[in-house]
Structure 1
Amino acid sequence: MSDTPFVVPMLKQLANPDGATTLAGLAPADTPVLRPLAADVVVMYAIDRPNRLEYITHKTLAIMGMGLEALHQLAVRNLPRCLDRIQLHDCGDGVIGISAGGTFEATLLLLDELWPRLAPHLPGQPLAAIPSRDLIFVIGSEQPQAFELIAARARTALAERRHALSNAVFIRQGNSWSAYNN
Structure 2
Amino acid sequence: MDVMSTTFLPVLVSLDELDPQDEEDIVLDEFLGGLAVGYASGPPYQGLVTWRDLRQIRLHPHDLRRYAFESLTKWTAEVQVDGRPPVLMVSFGGWESSAVLLDEFWERMAAQVPGELVIGVPARDVVMVTGSGSPLGVEKVRRAVDRMFFAGSRGLLSRDLLVWRRGWEIWRHYPPHPH
RMSD after superposition = 3.0
In structure 2, the partner of 1:67 is: 61
Measured at CA, do residues 83 and 147 of structure 1 come closer, stay the same or move farther in structure 2, by a change above 3 Å?
A: same
Which residue of 82, 104, 128 corresponds with 2:95?
104
Question: TM-score normalised to the size of structure 2?
Answer: 0.77
Amino acid at match of 1:38: L
1:163 aligns with 2:145: no
In structure 1, the partner of 2:72 is: 79
Partner SS for 1:37? strand
Count of aligned residue pairs for this structure pair: 169
Name structure 2 gaps, 5 residues minimum: 175-179
Amino acid at match of 2:169: S
Partner SS for 1:163? coil
Amino acid at match of 1:14: L
Contact 1:88 1:99 in 2 (8 A): yes
Contact 1:11 1:42 in 2 (8 A): yes
Which residue of 38, 47, 58 corresponds with 2:51?
58
Question: TM-score normalised to the size of structure 1?
Answer: 0.76
Distance 1:142 1:52 in 2: 36
1:118 aligns with 2:109: yes
In structure 2, the partner of 1:132 is: 123
Shift of 1:170: 0.8
Name structure 1 gaps, 5 residues minimum: none
Shift of 1:82: 5.8
Partner SS for 1:76? helix
Distance 1:124 1:72 in 2: 32
Measured at CA, do residues 67 and 100 of structure 1 come closer, stay the same or move farther in structure 2, by a change above 3 Å?
A: closer
